[in-house]
Amino acid sequence: MKRPNFLFIITDQQRADHLGCAGNQMLQTPNIDALAARGTRFDRFYVASPICTPNRVTLLTGRMSSAHGVRTNGVPTPLNSTTFADLLRAQGYRTAVVGKMHVQKMTAWGPIQAAPEVDESQAAPPPHLAEARMPTKDDGPYDQESLDAWRNDPNHDVTLPYYGFDHVRLCLMHGDQVHGHYGRWLEEKYPGSDSLRGESMLHGGDNALPSDLVVPFGWRTRVPEELYSTSYIAEESIAYLDEHARQGSEAPFFLKCSFPDPHHPYTPPGHYFDMYDPAEITLPPSFGGGEEPPLPSLDYLREQRNSRHLDVSSFWGMAVSEREAREAIALTYGQITMIDDAVGRILSHLEALGLADDTVVVYTSDHGDYMGDHQLLMKGPLHYQGLIRVPFIWTDPMQPPAEAVCDALCGSLDFPQTVLDRAGLQPFHGMQGKSLLPLLSGSEVQLYDDLLIEDENQLILLGFPGHPRLRTLVTKRWRMTLFDRVSWGELYDLENDPNEMHNCWDDVEYFDVKRTLMEAMVRKMMDYDDRSPFPTSRS
């Protein structure tokens, strides 16, 4: 069988229910809906980690963050990591990424999590022996996605291949704050382009157009639609497809189109800004509150909001008012509809070039967003469904789907293995996911009884006593979360409580359920122990 091309479309911070084809009655996503109608939409697709870089590296390696080593944002992806793109490239695929990677640091901000205090009476290890692994002579550079480097050095660029990709056009950060290759393109199109951008990631300031928004991280950007990062990604992706067609190469391609939206700041440009009226937004059922028993972290965030001590500088979860939630959702819908229009442009061009019949198209996101769940916005160490469940659509014109919607448990960990399987390639040793092709063919096989989600953060968030570390187990019916260094946890019956309002953690009626899930979590963690490298002897 002819090896397929792959068009991989990934957004940033998009919930599973933020698509028309997933039942959203207001959001307009006709192009993505049409893609789902031609393929299979997975309804129970979960992230391996609800944090940007760890899950993006899982999507590259098919390994949990505890195995690939990028346990939180701010830990760079080791350059010696093997990715599925490396395997595709080694077997003759042309590999390209247009948009966001976020596998290295993007900001100049120093780490929050410092090394523990040392005993001054003892000699500290020298820098090259301070960590569990010594750096190699070519261990770096790890500033290839650094905003400062891109802004200050006109010659700064990534070293190719970049984690398996031999063509790279980067978009760094979010909203109208995006830089990288896009920033240079924008400056060429509009000299003095910083005057179009908001003044920072926090607010638009004097650069923003007038509006009556009150939501944090929301403003009306001066960047025109045709110069916004979403348009750039569509334009560069189309240019790549044109070049592929011109070359007439027999080599198939893997093209990753990675949109920085709909992540905050909420800055949809032009007519997308007021496409959706906040007054008409339907808030999630859990927005009214009334959780039983109340979660300490929810109480902490709501008290911050009520006392007006809201910390917006961390870019993490916060409690918001009804108006703020409606505005955030409306602006996010505008960002998603703009992405949908860009997807439509790319897919139409794929068709015009005669490439559509040979191209598998995949759509997903790196993690979700609370988007009003329990009065919250953004993300954090509370694993509600809006955060951990993301869209996943697989459309293969060469292998028609057995069913339009699949409700089997699966997730980000399985994406690399599925791509390699479809390309007819064996995985490298140490990949931990499973191929979804049996599910796509209609097989009755159940790949998983449960899924594990790992989460660790440098920041001290949501009233936790230290840096949050937690593990979540998801089954068809249950979601259980175990936190480090606190006495409480979470246990929800998703079948009877889909909005996660009644925490059964301390309910004696559910002790047997909790015990069973605890054992399953430990077994799953053992299953994901790293088995790479192979032994080289019996020694």
pLDDT given at position 313: 65
Does position 294 have pLDDT exceeding 80, yes or no? yes
* Distance from C-alpha of 389 to C-alpha of 17, rounded to nearest angstrom: 9
CA distances from 417 to 49, 403, 441, 495 (A): 17, 21, 16, 30
**Range of lowest pLDDT (98-112, 304-318, 411-425):** 304-318
Region 416-434: mean pLDDT is: 97
Residue with the larger pLDDT of the pair 514 and 536: 514
Region 455-478: mean pLDDT is: 92
Q: What percent of the chain has pLDDT over 90?
A: 83
Q: Given the structure tokens 């499973």, which residue do they identify?
A: 434
pLDDT given at position 29: 98
Name the pLDDT band for 414 (thresholds 50, 70, 90).
very high
CB-CB neighbours of 398 under 10 Å: 12
474 φ, ψ (degrees, to nearest 5):
-115, 130
CATH topology of domain 5-108+141-287+319-446: Alkaline Phosphatase, subunit A (3.40.720)
Does position 237 have pLDDT exceeding 90, yes or no? yes
Q: Are 339 and 347 in contact, with CB atoms under 8 Å apart?
A: no
pLDDT given at position 202: 86
Report the candidate in 67, 68, 71 with the shortest Cα–Cα distance to residue 49: 71
Give residue 155's region: left, alpha or beta (phi > 0; psi -120 to 50): alpha
Boundaries of every domain in the chain: 5-108+141-287+319-446
Residue with the larger pLDDT of the pair 64 and 108: 64
Region 77-90: mean pLDDT is: 96
* Distance from C-alpha of 330 to C-alpha of 333, rounded to nearest angstrom: 5
pLDDT given at position 113: 66
| Residue 236: partners with Cβ closer than 8 Å, 6 or more residues away | 98, 169, 181
Residue with the larger pLDDT of the pair 72 and 44: 44
| Residue 230: partners with Cβ closer than 8 Å, 6 or more residues away | 259, 261, 335, 338, 339, 342
Name the pLDDT band for 501 (thresholds 50, 70, 90).
very high
pLDDT given at position 537: 87
| Tens-digit pLDDT profile for residues 128-161 | 788 777 666 567 799 999 999 999 999 999 999 9
Strands 5-11 and 40-42, by their bridges, are unpaired
* Distance from C-alpha of 524 to C-alpha of 518, rounded to nearest angstrom: 10
| Tens-digit pLDDT profile for residues 195-229 | 999 998 889 999 999 999 999 999 999 999 999 99
pLDDT given at position 303: 93
pLDDT given at position 137: 56
Does position 92 have pLDDT exceeding 90, yes or no? yes
| Residue 487: partners with Cβ closer than 8 Å, 6 or more residues away | none
pLDDT given at position 454: 98
Region 362-377: mean pLDDT is: 98
| Tens-digit pLDDT profile for residues 163-198 | 999 999 999 999 999 999 999 999 999 999 999 999
| Residue 235: partners with Cβ closer than 8 Å, 6 or more residues away | none
Does position 114 have pLDDT exceeding 60, yes or no? yes
Give residue 93's region: left, alpha or beta (phi > 0; psi -120 to 50): beta
Does position 314 have pLDDT exceeding 70, yes or no? no
pLDDT given at position 138: 64
pLDDT given at position 460: 83
Q: What percent of the chain has pLDDT over 70?
A: 97
| Tens-digit pLDDT profile for residues 99-110 | 999 999 888 777
Go through the chain and tell me how many residues it has. 539
